[in-house]
Each structure stands twice: as C-alpha cells, then as structure tokens.
Amino acid sequence: MNFVGDENILELNRVVMAFGGLMALSNISFQVKRGMIKAIIGPNGAGKTTLFNIITGSFSPTEGKIIFKGLPIEHLKAHKIAQRGISRTFQTVELFGNMTVLENVMLGCHTRIKSSFFSSGFQLPRVRRREAQIKENAMKILKFIGLVDKFNYNAGSLPLGEQKILEIGRALASEPELICLDEPAAGLNETETHVASSLIRAINARGITVLLVEHDMKVIMNISDEIAVLNYGQKIAEGSPEEIQNNRRVIEAYLGSE
C-alpha cells in the first residue's frame, strides 16, 4: 500500500452505458492511482459489474472516455485490453473446468505467446522451449497462490474458495499492471475470505494496482486505500474508508433514508 504514486493508471471520464432505455451507468468519472487498492461498492444493481465489463472491453461504453496508462482504450476489444495490461476475474467463476489447474494458469499467459499456426503444428523447437517456459512460469504462480499441490486437478473439481483463488492466479499469469477483481470473497467462508484478502494484499505488494468490487465490508475496509460508491449507476461518494463509513449518502443508499 506504500507504492501509491501520483500517476493515474486508469481514468474514467464521464462514462455512460445505456442498454436500450436503461441507464446502467450515467456520467461516471474516477481515477485509480498506480499501486493502490481501490474498491467499488454499492447495493445490488448499482452497475459495478457493468463498470468492470466496460473497463475490460466486454462492451464499449455508450459515451465517455477510458484512459489506461495515458491511452484511450474504450474502443478496444477484450483481448487487446488484456494485452495492454488489464486482467480480471469474474463474479460467477469462469474457469475452464475441463482443463487442469495448471492449464488454466498457462492459458493466462496467452497474451505473451506469439506462436504461429505452422510453428505450433510442426512443433518447432522454439515452440517447445516457450511452452516449457510458460509451464515454469505458471508453476511459480501456483506456488504464489498456494495451489501448487493441485496443479494436475481438474479446475472444475476444486472447492469454490480455491476456484476463486485460481481465477486470480490465472489473471496474474498475464502479468497485468491493473487487476480487476469482481467479488473475490463472494460465497467464501471466513477462513477462505481471510486467504483471499491476504492474497490481494500480496498481489498489491508486487506493485500491481487492484480494482475491486466486493460486498464484504470487512474485507473492503481492511484492504482498500480508496473507495468509490455507486448507486443506480451514479457515483454518490468517493474517499478513504473512514470518509465513506461516515458519509450520509452512502448510509442512506444502503439502509434507506429516515
């Protein structure tokens, strides 16, 4: 948490997302500084996952700009954004259940594989070397997230807590500069939640900026440097955990006004 600098790694500028007549996001602007853990909270349906989908290129925003490392990315497709250095996890786990734990992480290295169709088909030596390199890299990540013993398990057979951790590992494999975690603690028990939050801290300590959507307030208040609050597609507050805890509008959004 000490790496926070002045540079904005990500900037959203008046982002609007409309699905037909439904305004999922209206005029959202905020900045994420390099090296911080920033959380986005808000009641269900506030637009948090939509925001993630826009940042990571699942859809393009209706209006507005998204600047990553000084360059606009709002028009790019998901795989291009991944190559620029943004990685993500999903709220409902989207692992490749028919692959092993190791293969899942190896797929995360995909952005850095530049193998062509023919060199792969003829299995040229450089393809084999690169494959070995990727495997080694993936094993390192499995060690880091604590799943190295299960490298050969089918990803679909892991308990939910480990699946969530594996998804984070897969996202790390692309060596992102910004990682977007969509509810990493959802559905986890207390021990698993603890594991997940220490992992997020450890990722951040490596210099990776973290953008986090989460419902578990204990996790949020513990690990985030800054919090933005969404309600009905609008940003209603932004600030440090203490400021947010005492913000009237936030309390109203969650508990209703008196």
Partner 1 sequence: MLRIGKIPIAVFALLIIAFPWVAHEIPSIEHYTDIMIFAGIYCLMTMGLSLLMGYTGQISIGHAAFYGIGAYTSAILTTRYGFNPWPCMLAGMIVTAIVAILVGAPSLKLRGHYLAMATLAFGIIVYIIFNEEAAWTGGPDGMIGIPGLSLFGFEFDSIDKYYYLVWTIVFVVFVFTTNLIQSGIGRALRAIHVSEPAAGAMGVDISRFKILVFVYSAVLASLAGSLYAHYLNFINPSTFDLFFSIKLLIMIALGGMHSIWGAIIGAGLITFLSYEWLHYFEEYEVIVYGAILLVVTVFLPKGLAGIPGIIKSWFRN
| Residue numbers at the binding site for partner 1 (CB under 8 A) | 56-58, 77-79, 82-83, 87-88, 90, 94-99, 103, 106-108, 110-111, 113, 115, 117, 120-123, 127, 130-131, 134, 170-171, 173-174
Distance (Å, whole) CA 225 – CA 241: 7
Closer to partner 1 by Cβ: residue 32 or 102? 102
Distance (Å, whole) CA 24 – CA 230: 11
Q: Within a 10 A sphere around the Cβ of 95, how many other Cβ atoms?
A: 20
215: exposed, middle or buried (C-beta count within 10 Å: 0-12, 13-18, 19+)?
Answer: middle
Torsional class of 248: left (φ above 0), alpha (ψ -120 to 50), beta (otherwise): alpha
Closer to partner 1 by Cβ: residue 118 or 190? 118
Closer to partner 1 by Cβ: residue 55 or 219? 55
The answer to whether the beta carbons of residues 7 and 35 sit under 8 Å apart is no
**Least spacing, CB of residue 128 vs partner 1, in Å:** 9
**Least spacing, CB of residue 61 vs partner 1, in Å:** 17
Closer to partner 1 by Cβ: residue 59 or 232? 59
**Least spacing, CB of residue 249 vs partner 1, in Å:** 32
**Least spacing, CB of residue 179 vs partner 1, in Å:** 11
Closer to partner 1 by Cβ: residue 62 or 111? 111
Strand partners, 228: 40, 238
Closer to partner 1 by Cβ: residue 113 or 148? 113
**Least spacing, CB of residue 171 vs partner 1, in Å:** 8
- Contact residues for 21 (Cβ-Cβ < 8 A; gap 6+): none
Which string of DSSP letters, residue by residue, matches 229-254?
EEETTEEEEEE-HHHHHT-HHHHHHH
**Least spacing, CB of residue 4 vs partner 1, in Å:** 26
> What token pair was written down for 117?
């169709």
Q: For 142, which DSSP code? A: H
